[in-house]
Amino acid sequence: MNEQELRRLIGAVKHGKLSRRDFARRMLAVGLTAPMATQLLAIGGVANAQARSQYKPTKRGGGGLLKVLWWQGATLLNPHFAVGTKDQDASRFFYEPLAGWDADGNLQPVLAASIPGREDGTLAADGKSVTWKLKQGVTWHDGKPFTADDVVFNWEYAKDPATAATTSAVYTDVMVEKVDQYTVKVLFQKPTPFWALAFVGAQGMIIPKHLFADYAGGKSRDAPTNLKPVGTGAYKFKDFKPGDMVSGEINPNYHMENRPYFDAFEMKGGGDAVSAARAVLQSGEFDFAWNMQVEDEILQRMEKGGKGRVAISPGGNIEHIQLNTTDPWTEVDGERSSLKTKHPTLSDPAVRQALSVLVDKDSIEKHIYGRTGIATANFVNNPERFRSKSTKFEFNVDKANDILEKAGWKKGSDGIREKDGKKLKFVYQTSINQPRQKTQAIVKQACQKAGIDIEIKSVTASVFFSSDVANPDTYTKFYCDLQMYTTTMTQPDPELFMKQFLSEEAATKENKWQGRNITRWRNKEYDDIHKAGQVEVDPVKRAAMFIKLNDMVINDQVVIPVVARPAVQAMGNKLVATMSGWDNNTWDIQNWYKEA
């Protein structure tokens, strides 16, 4: 589809001759997802679609206690320090962004009065700025007013390197100006095709200036409100036991009419995915359970209990194995896995290539994940427009042996390959849950047949995904050779997602291990292509750039994709909760309710 045809279709929607739904269908036919179709319509001057309300309660409260399970318990409640989904989801009960992404890829206003668009000039025609008008009359949980000053402060707070915010990548390359008390303007250095990033969705939750201003920069970790949130959300903070329980109560002054439905909530953390699934699907003790990383055969058996159902939402999440580019066993200036080192054996391309054909992805899908995990060769799997067609995967022990043999890695008397006095012995870690331990076992068995010794390490999920900078076993420290987990893609565009391989994003002691680049891989060509992709307005050229980035990390075996994982949750039969593959699990928490 050329630019002229695209403009004709956008014009047809604008003048009522073509529906948004038909436009989205035509875009899907050429590989564009609904979220990207929405962005194209906005740039073309078509107003954003309004959400069709399905919310039935006619008054605020009265719904009793909402009980939810996250088997990885939240460890802090500042969204700018969220390490993993569990911290983002917990924070979203209290904090809100300007807008969120619904399941169809449409932006829905939360703290914004409306979604920016060309028709009213709030989305600049040159793609270099976007103006957000804020909802008026919103107050923080302590009664202070929410204003443009809070929004500007969040930009200043997150972009400050001393703050070491996990959201820094969203705010570093933009400028934010206060226009008036209820209007802010986000300015981009160059035309920006995916403008709905800052203050939007999972990375866009806003914290109050009046409680965090004294704790910006180097003092950021000392703020009492990191553990006792004061937000604008549907629920007010009640209690928090890190790694165990988050609880809140109804916000009587919430800015959306008749919301929320529930009088209070309890978010229980810890345990494992199987017991969480059982607590919803079989016993009905809980209303909702997050991230059903459970063998599909078990889930289907539990669903027959009749108390609940499994909800599957397509998205961009990927279960993958990371290969450490640095040396986790050597300490330099008080830091292991330092950028000043390189891995003694994984730095050999032949070793990485061998490992990539020793992961039996088809068996992992068939015997473990089923409908909840699809074997893949790619790191970026959705939106389809960005999915590479040039990659492939195979499982071949003989090929792995041949690669290593030709590279000079010879088997010793113990059956383990070695070269120049270095043995192929690796520590392979992940969090504790049954599918991951079964995957580890499959990989270990294949590696043994190729002369690679694997030591399996399984870490309690609350420890592995902890935000505690003193904890040596977190995935961000990466104090081992190989590690496996799911990384989430919370926007319908790979730009932010693929920042996790940028050199400047490397996790280090200096940034409190909050950098998104966990593997510590550094490649100037990758950095340059990503930078160019951020400003490329031609959708075809831009997609080609991100496909190239995917292929670079795959072909260099920076990571080994295992299965693409749609979001899989368990819900009680009476719970009405809209999931989105492009935002937090709790992105729409204000609209959750139970049918009578």
Q: Which two tokens stand for residue 17?
A: 């001759």
Same domain flag for 332 and 474: yes
Selection from 491, 61, 560 nearest residue 317 by Cα: 491
Check whether residue 222 and residue 322 sit in a common domain.
no
Examine the domain organization and report whether 209 and 350 are in the same domain.
Answer: no
Residue 228 has pLDDT above 90, yes or no: yes
260-299 confidence digits (pLDDT tens)? 999 999 999 988 999 999 999 999 999 999 999 899 999 9
Domain count, the chain: 3
3-state secondary structure of 88: helix
Report d(CA 586, CA 588) in Å as an integer.
5
User: Average pLDDT, stretch 367-382?
Assistant: 95
Structural contact between residues 507 and 518, judged by C-beta atoms closer than 8 angstroms: yes
**Mean predicted confidence (pLDDT) in 162-179:** 95
pLDDT at 506: 97
Tell me what percent of the residues of the chain surpass a pLDDT of 70.
91
Instruction: Tell me the pLDDT tens digit for each residue of 414-424.
Output: 999 999 999 99
Distances (CA, A) of 336 to 217, 344, 462, 477: 25, 13, 22, 8
- Name the 3-class secondary structure at 131: strand
347: its two tokens: 């730095």
Greatest mean pLDDT among 15-19, 122-126, 386-390, 477-481 = 477-481
217 within a domain of the structure (yes/no):
yes
Of 540, 500, 534, 539, the closest CA to residue 188 belongs to 534
- pLDDT for the residue 220: 95
Are the CB atoms for 105 and 34 separated by under 8 Å? yes
DSSP tag of 509: T
Beta bridge partners of 112: 134
- Residue partners of 343: CB distance under 8 A and separation at least 6: 323, 324, 325, 326, 327, 328, 481
Is 239 part of any domain?
A: no
Over residues 236-254, mean pLDDT: 97
Residues 376, 463, single domain; the answer is yes
Whether 52 has a pLDDT exceeding 80, the answer reads no
* Lookup: tokens for 144: 């202070």
Once rounded to an integer, what is the mean pLDDT over residues 95-124? Answer: 93
Query: Residue 14: its pLDDT value, please?
Result: 61
Q: CA-CA distance, 73 to 59, in Å (whole number)?
A: 31
Distance CA 154, CA 97 (A): 11
For range 473-498, the mean pLDDT: 93
Q: How far apart are CA 405 and CA 402, in angstroms?
A: 5
What are residue 563's DSSP bridge partners? 319, 375
Local structure of 411: helix, strand or coil = strand
Express each pLDDT in 317-358 by its tens digit: 999 999 999 999 999 999 999 999 999 999 999 999 999 999
Q: What average pLDDT does the structure give for the chain?
A: 92
d(CA 181, CA 380): 40
| Distance between CA atoms of residues 107 and 20, nearest Å | 14
The per-residue pLDDT for 334 is 92
* 160 in a structural domain: yes
Q: For 122-140, what is the mean pLDDT?
A: 95
The answer to whether residues 85 and 486 touch, using CB atoms and an 8 Å cutoff, is: no
Q: What is the DSSP letter of 332?
A: B
pLDDT of residue 490: 81
Mean pLDDT, rounded, for 126-144: 97
7: pLDDT strictly greater than 90: no
- Whether 84 is in a domain gets the answer no
Residue-level pLDDT at 256: 97
Query: Which of 232, 263, 298 delimits the end of a domain?
Result: 232
Nearest to 39 by CA among 111, 113, 112, 99: 99
CB atoms within 10 A of CB 414: 10
Give the chain's radius of gyration (CA, Å): 24
> How many angstroms separate the most distant Cα atoms in the chain?
77
Domain match, 340 and 485 both: yes
Instruction: Give the position of tokens 């915010």.
Output: 165
Residue 269 within any structural domain of the chain: no
| Nearest CA among 253, 266, 236, 223 for reference residue 60 | 253
Q: Which residues, 6 or more positions from 476, have their beta carbon under 8 angstroms from its beta carbon?
A: 83, 507, 513, 514, 515, 518
User: Among positive and negative, which fits the CA dihedral 454, 460, 461, 463?
Assistant: negative
Return d(Cα 241, Cα 250) in angstroms, integer: 19
Lookup result for tokens 């269908």 = 25
Is residue 108 a part of any domain in this protein?
yes
Is residue 71 assigned to a domain?
A: no
Looking at the structure, do residues 208 and 109 belong to the same domain, yes or no? yes
Using left for φ > 0, alpha for ψ between -120 and 50, and beta otherwise, residue 94 falls in: alpha
Cα gap 417→300, rounded to integer Å = 42
- CB of 457 closer than 8 Å to CB of 1: no
Task: Compute CA 395 distance to the chain's CA centroid, rounded to the nearest angstrom.
Answer: 28
Residue 135 lies in a domain: yes
Mark whether 7 and 112 lie in a shared domain: no
Model pLDDT, residue 29: 57
Range with the lowest mean pLDDT among 48-57, 174-183, 485-494, 586-595?
48-57
Query: How high is the pLDDT of residue 401?
Result: 98
In percent, how much of the chain has pLDDT > 90?
Answer: 80
Coil vs helix vs strand at 123? strand
Domain with 25 in it:
3-43
What pLDDT does 491 receive? 81
**333 with 474, same domain?**
yes
| Separation of first and last alpha carbons in the chain | 48
Those residues with Cβ within 8 angstroms of residue 55's Cβ, 6 or more apart along the chain or in another chain = 258, 259, 591, 593
528-538 pLDDT, tens per residue? 999 999 888 78
CA 400 – CA 403 distance, rounded (Å): 5
Q: With 90 as the cut, is the pLDDT of residue 379 above it? A: yes
Q: Which two tokens stand for residue 427?
A: 């520590």
37 pLDDT above the threshold of 80 = no
Q: What pLDDT, on a 0 to 100 scale, did the predictor assign at position 35?
A: 56
Query: Are 12 and 102 in a shared domain?
Result: no
Residue 221 and residue 345 in one domain: no
Residues 223 and 332 in one domain: no
| d(C-alpha 209, C-alpha 152), whole Å | 9
Mean pLDDT computed over 43-58: 64
Please give the pLDDT value at position 39.
56
Q: Tell me what pLDDT residue 172 has.
A: 93
Give CA–CA dist 98/244, Å, rounded: 29
Mean predicted confidence (pLDDT) in 409-431 = 97
Give the span between the Cα atoms of 189 and 592, in whole angstroms: 39
* Domain CATH number, residue 436: 3.10.105.10
What pLDDT, on a 0 to 100 scale, did the predictor assign at position 318? 97
**Of 38 and 516, which is predicted with more confidence?**
516
Query: Per-residue confidence at 582, pLDDT binned at 50, 70, 90?
Result: confident
The answer, yes or no, to whether the previous bond of 260 is cis (omega within 30 of 0) is yes
Dist. CA 174–CA 288, nearest whole Å: 37
Q: What is the pLDDT of residue 535?
A: 85
How many residues in the chain?
Answer: 596
| Domain shared by 103 and 26, yes or no | no
d(CA 66, CA 594): 9
pLDDT, position 462: 86
Instruction: Say how far residue 516 (Cα) sits from the centre of its chain.
Output: 11
Q: If we measure between CA atoms, which residue out of 199, 214, 221, 190 comes closest to residue 155?
A: 199
User: Does position 145 have pLDDT exceeding 70, yes or no?
Assistant: yes
398 CB-contact burial (10 Å; exposed 0-12 / middle 13-18 / buried 19+): exposed
